[in-house]
């Protein structure tokens, strides 16, 4: 994918070890609050394509994410998410799939145009490569589920995966919110506590697992999130493609 510019920001693919190291340093800061000396890295980094969102004038890195492309559901066990979720239901999915992971923004930067630029780049990649499903782990900061009960209640009521794709429990420590929560969600509070990336997935018709994984290593709660490209509402597709130009 060629570089893409949107307003104050430009998105490009990491080209070398220096670029990858910068992304790993931002991930370490965003996920663990550690700014120097340690990098967030794992065995999936060499397998993935890494996207960098930078300020055009300063070239400061403000956001990054990585993608792993699969030819179809028959390769689902190769993905990062398969460490935490039993994904056998997705093995029958036909068509190219992309796992989007390690999405993060610099904690001191809160411009919504950064997320728009990232989605513009992702949309261009999806169209160029005829991707039919996006998926990944959408993370809530911290591991205290009580902070997000309204968000989880809304996911239970409105956004659970279709039964044919529903992930099963695999991780040893999970919060089975669909089974345990009985409260009705406060929708305003739910939206406020929903991670921005997950909120965007849901606006496009995305769905989630019926449980959250408690990931103490990353200090997150995360839900498996899927989005079938053909299920995105036409108006939303037009908007995404407009910003991807």
Give pLDDT, residue 76.
98
Give pLDDT, residue 70.
98
Q: Which residues in the chain come in under a pLDDT of 50?
A: none
SS (H, E, C) 154-217: HHHHHCECCCCCCCEECCCCEECHHHHCCCCCCHHHHHHHCCHHHHHHHHCCCEECCCEEEECC
Give pLDDT, residue 1.
60
For residues 20 and 14, the answer to whether their CB atoms sit within 8 Å is yes
Q: Give the count of beta carbons closer than 10 Å to the beta carbon of residue 116.
A: 18
Question: Structural domain boundaries of the chain?
Answer: 67-243
Hunting for tokens 């990931």 — which residue is that? 215
């Amino acid at each position: 994918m060629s570089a893409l510019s949107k307003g104050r920001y430009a998105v490009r693919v990491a080209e070398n070890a220096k670029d990858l190291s910068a992304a790993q340093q931002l991930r370490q800061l965003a996920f663990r609050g550690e700014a120097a000396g340690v990098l967030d890295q794992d065995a999936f980094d060499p397998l993935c394509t890494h996207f960098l969102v930078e300020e055009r004038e300063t070239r400061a890195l403000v956001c990054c994410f990585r993608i792993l492309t699969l030819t179809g559901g028959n390769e689902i066990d190769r993905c990062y998410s398969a460490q935490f979720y039993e994904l056998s239901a997705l093995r029958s999915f036909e068509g190219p799939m992309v796992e989007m992971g390690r999405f993060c923004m610099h904690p001191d930067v809160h411009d919504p145009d950064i997320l728009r630029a990232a989605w513009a780049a992702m949309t261009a990649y999806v169209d160029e490569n005829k991707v039919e499903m996006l998926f990944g782990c959408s993370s809530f900061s911290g591991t205290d589920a009580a902070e997000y009960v309204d968000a989880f209640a809304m996911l239970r009521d409105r956004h659970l995966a279709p039964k044919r794709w529903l992930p099963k429990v695999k991780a040893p420590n999970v919060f089975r919110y669909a089974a345990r929560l009985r409260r009705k969600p406060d929708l305003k509070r739910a939206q406020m506590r929903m991670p921005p990336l997950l909120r965007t997935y849901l606006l496009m018709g995305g769905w989630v697992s019926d449980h959250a994984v408690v990931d103490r290593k990353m200090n997150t709660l995360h839900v498996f999130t899927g989005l079938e490209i053909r299920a995105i509402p036409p108006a939303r597709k037009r908007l995404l493609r407009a910003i991807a130009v």
